[in-house]
Chains A and B, each alone.
Chain A
Amino acid sequence: MSKFKKGGKSELPAISTASLPDIVFMLLFFFMVATVMRDSSLMIENRLPSADQVEKLKKDRTTFIYAGKPSSQYKQFGEEPRIQFNDAFISVEDVQASVLQAQADMNEELKSKIVVGLKVDKDTHAGLVSDIKQELRKANTLKVMYIANAKAQQ
Chain B
Amino acid sequence: MAKRAAPEVNAGSMADIAFLLLIFFLVTTTIEKDKGLLRSLPPIDDSEVEPPIIKQKNLFTVLINRRNQLLVEDEQMELKDLRQAAIEFLDNGGGTNAEGASCDYCQGKRSPSSSDHPDKAIISMKHDRETSYEKYIDVQNELVAAYNFLREREATRLYKRYYPNEDKVYAAMLAEKEKNQFKKDEELNERIETIKKLYPLKLSEAEPDKN
User: Which A residues are within 8 Å of any B CB, using their own CB?
Assistant: 17, 20-21, 24-25, 27-28, 31-32, 34-37, 49-57, 59, 62, 115, 117-118, 120-127, 129-130, 133-134, 136-138, 140, 142-150
Contacts and interface: CB of A to CB of B under 8 A. Distances in A.
Nearest to A133: B41
B interface SS class = mixed
Contacts of A52: 141, 145
A56 B178 contact: yes
B103 to A, nearest CB: 23
Given A21-B15, A49-B138, A55-B35, A125 B132 contact: yes
Interface of B: 11, 14-15, 18-19, 21-22, 25-26, 28-44, 64, 127-138, 140-141, 144-145, 148, 178, 205, 207-208
B132 A123 contact: yes
18 contacts: A21-B11, A28-B18, A28-B21, A31-B22, A31-B29, A51-B37, A55-B37, A62-B34, A115-B38, A120-B133, A122-B137, A123-B132, A123-B134, A126-B135, A137-B41, A142-B43, A145-B39, A149-B35
A49 B39 contact: no
Nearest to B134: A122
B130 A53 contact: no
A124 B97 CA distance: 40
